[in-house]
Structure formats: C-alpha cells, structure tokens
Chain A
C-alpha cells in the first residue's frame, strides 16, 4: 500500500515535471532562437509562407532543381489538394527484392484510365531522370536520384544529382552553366567536421537563390 502511494505520487510528479515543466522550459529558451524553434520557415517579400528550408517541396518545372522522388502521400511531400489529404512522412518501406520497388506497377482500369495503385519503380524513375536531363539512354544516374528517401521530404540532393540537372536549369533560365554551378557550390553542405554524413545540396535554398539572381537580371 505504501509503495502504491509512492507509485501514484511519483507518476504525478513525472507528469508535471517531465511532461509539462521540461518542454515548456525548452520552449521558453527556444524563444531566443525563434527561427529554429519555429521550423526554419521561409517567407517571401510579401510575408507569405513559402515553405521550410528543412522540408522538401515538389518541383517539376525545368527552371527549378528537382528534389528526390517522394514516397509520402498521393501527391508527395505533404502537399495536398481538395481530393487528397495530408499524409505525414514516410519512405516506401519496400524491400530490395520487391518487384514493385524495382519495376513499378503500370495498370489500366477497365475504362482505360491509369489505375490509382500505379507506382513508379526505380527503373521508371531512372528513365524519367535521364529523359528530363537529356542524358544518354545508358547513362548512370546518381543513387539518390532514382530512389525515395526515408522521410519522403528529404530537403537535399547529392552534388552529382545537382550537377546533372544544372545544364537543364541553365538552359531554361538562359543562364551561364558556370553561374548555376557556382550557386550549387554555395548551397552545398559539406560533411560535418569532414567526416560525418554526406555532402548535400539544399534544393529549396538553391532554387530561391536562382530566383533571386533571375530577378536581378
């Protein structure tokens, strides 16, 4: 009985102390770093929210760099329209010997439309990437370009991936390739202390930098 009383009281203590006091203390300290604490949001000149530099957003126009394919939700990247709801964050969770992962699903429904369960396999993604960037039919594509990330909202692409997209972007914007390459370098995050992780290019920051240069022209 004595132990039960302590068990209940201590649980209540933990509830208040670690469940409320701790997060609110950090919240208060986070007020000193509002940009980070609020999700590294980016607003445009008008003050409208255009995204977070940590969260990938979809790009398909040729004048923008494109992020990795997304396994999150019907439209990907947490985007939505009236028919689709927000779908969180996730990868495909398909294993290495999955037919769906490698070859995809391409079906037509009885009325000749695309089946909603259709899915682009890695082969499709690699082919689409080559076509989009005018690469040779047998060109090797970077490992991150034809695979889906773990979160579905991976904000980065590899420098190789960016370099292969650069000619397309430069052509669409009538820019010198060197200028685009320079912007890629400026927006590349190197390994932490030269060891941990991999170099990565933030797609949204890079595209914003491109738009900025474009407006200056």
Chain B
C-alpha cells in the first residue's frame, strides 16, 4: 500500500473522529427538544410546520402507531413520485423541463422501481438521469425523498434509542416530530452551507438547457446543465446516492475537485458517526456510543486498506499490455479503468469504501471495473447490512440489532440472561433481530439465484445481445416482454436474464449479486454494467428494496416498543460490560461471522473465483 493511500484514509478518519462528538451532542439536544444555537431561527419554523401539518408535538406514539405513521409517510411519498414520473412529459412547471423529456421512457415498471428506490433511501437508478428525467423530476419527484427518507431513517434510530433510554414507557416518541427535527435542525443547515461551498467549488446550479459547444477541433459537444449542487449535497448528506448524472460523483460537474470530493465523503459519514455519540449521550453513558464507533472504525479502516491495496496492485492483464502498475510521483499506476485522474487510486478506493459502509451508493469510480478483491470490499460492506457507520439512522439501528445478537451470543456462552444498556434482552428481541437478518439474506440470495436462472419466455434457449437486431418482436410470446429493455426502439431484448450483464463468467454473476445486495441493503451503488432497465429487474429490484427497508424497520420498531416497556435492571458483577474492548471485538466478530457464513458460497462464485482466475492469468472471457 502506498504511503499516500494510507495517509488519505487516516486523515479522513481523523476528521470524522473530530466531528463525531460536537455533532453527536448537538443532535442529542435536538431530539430532546432542548435549545440549540439555531433555535431562535428554526423553532418558529418548526412550530409552523406542526400547525400546517396537523401534528401535535406533545403526542407520544406506541411503536405500532410510530410504524404506521412511518409507513404512511413512505407510501404517500412513493405514490406522489410514481405519479409525477409517469406524467413527467406534461409538466413544464416554471420551465423545469428544458430538454423536453416526454416521459415515454418512464415506463410503469421503471417509474415504480424509481419511486421505491428513492423512498427507501436506496437511489438505485435503472435509468440514465441526464437522458431520462427533467429538472423538475430531479428536484421535486426525486430529491424530496433524499430529505424524507433520510429524516425517516434518523427518526427510526432515535426511536430505537428511546427503547433503551426509557423505562416502563408506553411510547417511543413522535414520528412526525422526529422527522421534522431531523430535517430542519440537522439536514437543512448542513445542506445549505455545503450546497453553497459546492457551487463555489464548481458544481453547477442553474436551470439552463443543455449547452452545445464547438470544440477546439471543431466537433459538436453537448454539455449537460441543471440544478446539480442542491441535489448533490443532500444526496451525500442523506446517504442517498442518486446522481444527477449517469456517472454520479465521477462526473466532473457533480464532483469537480479533490476538495469537493473529500467534503462529499465527510458529508456521508458525519451524521452516522455523530449518531453513535448521540446514542451514548441519550442512554446516559457515552462510552456505549464510543464502543459502537470503535467497532465501526476498525471495520472501516480494514476495508479501506484492503480496497486500496487491491486496486493499487492492479490487473496483471493490463500490466502485461505494457501499462505502468506502480504508482510514481507523476502517474497513478494500479487499476485506473473506470477511475478519474484527479481522484486516482487513493481517493477512489476511499470513496468506494465509505459509500458502501454507509448506505449512500454514490460512486466516484466504476465499481464494476474494480479488481475482484477491490470490488469485493464494497460488496461485502453492503452485505454486512451497512452497519459500518451506515446510512443516516439506518447504520445505527442496524448496528444495534447486531449488538442485541452479540449480547445474546455472549449470554449463551456464559449462561446468563443477556442485557444491553440495562435492558434484558429476551426471546422477542432476539427473534425480531434474527428475523430482520434472515429476511435480508433471503432477499439477496433468492433474487440473485432467480436472476441467474431465468429465461423469458421460459424454456427457450438463451438469446444474446448479438441477436438483438434480428429478434422480431411481434412474434414473441407476451411473457418475453418481461426482459425487454425499456425505451429502446424497437424494444429488442429477451432471453436469459443473465444476458443483461455486461461481463460474462464470474464477473457477470457478481453484477447480479451486487445488484440485489445493493437493492436489499438500500445502498444504490451498482456494478453498473448490468442492464437493469427491464421489467424483470425493475420489478424484482423494487421488491428487494421495499423488503430491505421496511421488513428491517418494522421488527426494529417492535424491539424499540418492547424494550421501552421494560424496567432497567441494575448492573451487577455478572453484567457483561458493553462499553469494553471485549464487546467491540465481539461485535465485530458477530457482524463478520454472520455475513461470512451467509454469503460465502455466493461470494465464492463471484469475486473470489474471479480473483483466482485473474491471479493465475486464465484467459479472459
């Protein structure tokens, strides 16, 4: 590993470490309804919102009501987005559709997938944004979810924290209040300042139509425009990841420089890291929060180092073609396919690790072109359930779920009733935690297996992209339309769903596995070679995203409700200390072990076998 690569990781981590405590205690004050330095401005706004939206601030919700409110908020937003996307062509409100996208590409399956994707904080994009959606759609139909889904995730985390901090309580807080406070006190101020810095750094913010330039050599070039900065900042801060452009944060307009790049990854981690401190503060022992932070940090740094080493080592096939592999002062070396020059190996692998540790899913390099082990790191990060800092809120509640499983396992080993933060962990909590874990694994592995083995129409032999020009659409049975590429004319694709991958062999399987891991984990990054804009992939992906979001949150809210109702048990000499180094090690062990056992066979078929094929220089496929 290069010295500079390590330095980038450590300096970045140092910045996050410094931010954690001040931001964490600020957030604790916000959720406790205490005064902060922004209250004089924002408190009147907060009260106004409650009045406009018929919210009674003093209401305290049981976990069932909390869950229903959360679901209704998500469903309403999802329906709104679906409707707006489908009618995109009719909306030229304020001139926000200068390219005149008529919406015909937003087929029902694509619009449904996209609506689910943004509602669930996934931001999987089966479409190419600058060629499909208008500015209006980006701002109003899609980016509102960057705020709503982030605020929802933070609210759920706070509700779960209350499960631990409250005693013999009926309620776990008020969903609307938690959501509004997350938005206006936390997301809004940071996004506002960050957005201005982004513009100053070169991220466009305008409503101009695409510009046509005559290049120095006389070619005609399209330069895309749009309100990029306002979407860019919340996309990172809310760990959403849905890009304004197809190339996402690799596009020089989304991420023009290394200054902006480092701000982007700080924006991803700052709230999830801060929430660990908020957790400690609210349960009355900040060491508990630092223990979670410690476990997350170890896994983050390990992943970032492995990814950097693998990418810097490069690809032996490329080295054989006479391309420099070692980094020098004047060129990057390593595997530069699908990476930007300004980011090089170090800043790209750091970004890839951060974006998949968190449920962000923005990318500043193409993960599909990473080396097998370099690509395994993002994939594995997602498969952990994104608990390494994780999504805003989602990372903390996911990690608390593993903590519950961890103390349960520790309890089994020493033969005592497990406790966490003074609450007895009993059958119900463990059942719910395991339920969430198993549902996610079933979704990832089940859908991957399905897509690796499906052919439309069923039973016919596989057709490939090479056959696409000869396929006569009219002769196809109706079922075949399930694997047609949306928006291509003539609609020209059918056959095995494995043909939708951009690579063959093990790497092709990795593309499918990554897609369902990313969808279920609500990440949204991709091995982007896969052609996912077909009814088959849009539909299965949509189900995976909804399962991954809501069948995780509902069991966790049930745990929150059950814990809040419990008494606090006093610590005794036999209590397993969950603010100790032993617990940190146990927690890491549980996260790694559960995921290795669950996903090793699938990973062996994808990145691991590809790694050995590459290392042994087997002929490329």
Chain A contact residues, CB within 8 Å of chain B: 2-11, 13-15, 18-20, 22-23, 25-27, 29-30, 33, 36-41, 48-52, 54-55, 57-61, 64, 68, 75, 77-81, 86-99, 101-103, 122-123, 126, 130, 138-161, 163, 189, 191-192, 195-200, 204, 207-208, 211
Q: Are B621 and A52 in contact (CB under 8 A)?
A: no
Which residues on B sit within 8 Å (CB–CB) of A51? 213, 215-216, 221, 223
B69 contacts A by Cβ under 8 Å: yes
Q: Are A196 and B55 in contact (CB under 8 A)?
A: no
Number of contact residues on B: which range applies? Answer: 35 or more
B451 contacts A by Cβ under 8 Å: no
Task: Indicate whether A26 sits within 8 Å of B341 (C-beta atoms), given known contacts A49-B214, A196-B8.
Answer: no
CA distance A146 to B320 in the complex (A): 12
Task: Indicate whether A37 sits within 8 Å of B53 (C-beta atoms), given known contacts A150-B338, A196-B258.
Answer: no
Task: Indicate whether A7 sits within 8 Å of B72 (C-beta atoms), given known contacts A142-B331, A159-B331.
Answer: yes
How distant is B147 from chain A, measured CB to nearest CB, in Å? 4
CA distance A88 to B76 in the complex (A): 32
Q: What are 30 sample pairs from A and B whose C-beta atoms fall under 8 A apart? A: A3-B69, A7-B72, A11-B76, A11-B77, A19-B139, A33-B199, A36-B199, A39-B223, A40-B204, A50-B213, A52-B211, A54-B202, A59-B217, A75-B219, A78-B224, A81-B220, A89-B247, A91-B337, A91-B366, A95-B507, A96-B315, A126-B322, A147-B338, A148-B338, A150-B340, A150-B366, A157-B341, A160-B324, A196-B261, A211-B216
Partner of B365, one of A36, A103, A150, A160: A150
Partner of B369, one of A38, A95, A154: A95
CA distance A181 to B502 in the complex (A): 40
Task: Indicate whether A147 sits within 8 Å of B323 (C-beta atoms), given known contacts A29-B196, A50-B216, A90-B246.
Answer: yes
Which B residues between 201 and 234 are near A, CB-CB below 8 angstroms? 201-208, 210-217, 219-225, 227, 229-231, 234
Task: Indicate whether A64 sits within 8 Å of B223 (C-beta atoms), given known contacts A40-B202, A122-B321.
Answer: no
CA distance A99 to B621 in the complex (A): 5
Q: Are A97 and B131 in contact (CB under 8 A)?
A: no
Task: Indicate whether A95 sits within 8 Å of B342 (C-beta atoms), given known contacts A61-B217, A195-B8.
Answer: no
B280 contacts A by Cβ under 8 Å: no
CA distance A104 to B201 in the complex (A): 38
In the complex, how many residue pairs between chain A and chain B have their CB atoms under 8 Å apart?
Answer: 426
How distant is A6 from chain B, measured CB to nearest CB, in Å? 5
Task: Indicate whether A15 sits within 8 Å of B140 (C-beta atoms), given known contacts A95-B503, A95-B507, A147-B337.
Answer: yes
CA distance A160 to B144 in the complex (A): 44
Partner of B76, one of A7, A86, A156: A7
B195 contacts A by Cβ under 8 Å: yes
Partner of A79, one of B221, B336, B343: B221
CA distance A124 to B334 in the complex (A): 18
Q: Which residue of A lies closest to B243 (CB)?
A: A89
Partner of A197, one of B49, B342, B506: B342
Determine, out of B248-256, B428-436, B477-485, B592-600, the stretch whose residues face the partner at the interface: B248-256
Q: Mark B492-512, 1 if CB is under 8 A from A, else 0.
A: 000000000011111100100
Which residues on B sit within 8 Å (CB–CB) of A19? 139-141, 143-144
B456 contacts A by Cβ under 8 Å: no
Q: Are B262 and A192 in contact (CB under 8 A)?
A: yes
How distant is A185 from chain B, measured CB to nearest CB, in Å? 11
CA distance A160 to B7 in the complex (A): 22
Q: Are B258 and A36 in contact (CB under 8 A)?
A: no
B527 contacts A by Cβ under 8 Å: yes
Q: Which residue of B lies closest to A38 (CB)?
A: B206
B52 contacts A by Cβ under 8 Å: yes
Partner of B341, one of A8, A54, A61, A156: A156
Q: Mark B72-83, 1 if CB is under 8 A from A, else 0.
A: 110111001000
Q: Are B342 and A78 in contact (CB under 8 A)?
A: no
CA distance A151 to B618 in the complex (A): 29
Q: Mark B591-621, 1 if CB is under 8 A from A, else 0.
A: 0000000000000000000100110001111
Q: Are B321 and A123 in contact (CB under 8 A)?
A: yes
Task: Indicate whether A158 sits within 8 Å of B341 (C-beta atoms), given known contacts A93-B366, A142-B331.
Answer: yes
Interface-central residue, A8, A155, A163, by most chain B CB under 10 Å: A8
B328 contacts A by Cβ under 8 Å: yes
CA distance A71 to B424 in the complex (A): 56
Which residues on B sit within 8 Å (CB–CB) of A126? 321-323
How distant is A61 from chain B, measured CB to nearest CB, in Å? 6
Which residues on B sit within 8 Å (CB–CB) of A153? 247, 251-252
Which residues on A sit within 8 Å (CB–CB) of B338? 91-93, 147-150
Task: Indicate whether A39 sits within 8 Å of B225 (C-beta atoms), given known contacts A9-B54, A26-B205.
Answer: yes
Which residues on B sit within 8 Å (CB–CB) of A96? 315, 317-318, 335, 337, 369-372, 507, 610, 614
Chain B contact residues, CB within 8 Å of chain A: 4, 7-8, 11-12, 49, 52-55, 65, 68-69, 72-73, 75-77, 80, 128, 130-131, 139-141, 143-144, 146-148, 176, 179-180, 183, 188, 191-192, 195-196, 199-208, 210-217, 219-225, 227, 229-231, 234, 245-247, 250-253, 256-259, 261-262, 314-315, 317-318, 321-325, 328-348, 363-366, 368-372, 375, 502-507, 510, 527-529, 610, 613-614, 618-621
How distant is B385 from chain A, measured CB to nearest CB, in Å? 25
Q: Are A163 and B330 in contact (CB under 8 A)?
A: yes
Q: Are A98 and B258 in contact (CB under 8 A)?
A: no
Task: Indicate whether A197 sits within 8 Å of B80 (C-beta atoms), given known contacts A29-B199, A36-B202, A149-B250.
Answer: no
Q: Are A154 and B340 in contact (CB under 8 A)?
A: yes
Q: Are A143 and B80 in contact (CB under 8 A)?
A: no
Q: Which residue of A lies closest to B341 (CB)?
A: A156
Q: Are A80 and B222 in contact (CB under 8 A)?
A: yes
Which residues on A sit within 8 Å (CB–CB) of B77? 11, 14
Which residues on B sit within 8 Å (CB–CB) of A40? 202, 204, 256
How distant is B169 from chain A, measured CB to nearest CB, in Å? 20
Q: Are A6 and B69 in contact (CB under 8 A)?
A: yes
Q: Are B73 and A7 in contact (CB under 8 A)?
A: yes
Which residues on A sit within 8 Å (CB–CB) of B619? 99
Q: Are A102 and B317 in contact (CB under 8 A)?
A: yes
Task: Indicate whether A20 sits within 8 Å of B139 (C-beta atoms), given known contacts A10-B179, A39-B206.
Answer: yes
Which residues on B sit within 8 Å (CB–CB) of A163? 330
Q: Are A64 and B217 in contact (CB under 8 A)?
A: yes
Partner of B250, one of A7, A88, A151: A151
Could you list 6 further interchain pairs (A-B, Cβ under 8 angstroms) beyond the known A150-B369, A189-B257?
Answer: A18-B148, A23-B227, A38-B208, A158-B341, A191-B4, A197-B261
Q: Are B72 and A161 in contact (CB under 8 A)?
A: no
Q: Are A4 and B213 in contact (CB under 8 A)?
A: no
Q: Are B331 and A158 in contact (CB under 8 A)?
A: yes
Which residues on B sit within 8 Å (CB–CB) of A77? 219, 221
Q: Are A54 and B503 in contact (CB under 8 A)?
A: no
Q: Which residue of A lies closest to B245 (CB)?
A: A89
Q: Are B52 and A79 in contact (CB under 8 A)?
A: no
Task: Indicate whether A86 sits within 8 Å of B131 (C-beta atoms), given known contacts A15-B144, A150-B339, A198-B347.
Answer: yes
How distant is A187 from chain B, measured CB to nearest CB, in Å? 13
How distant is B331 from chain A, measured CB to nearest CB, in Å? 4
How distant is A206 from chain B, measured CB to nearest CB, in Å? 11
Q: Are B528 and A18 in contact (CB under 8 A)?
A: no
How distant is B328 from chain A, measured CB to nearest CB, in Å? 7
Q: Which residue of A lies closest to B205 (CB)?
A: A30
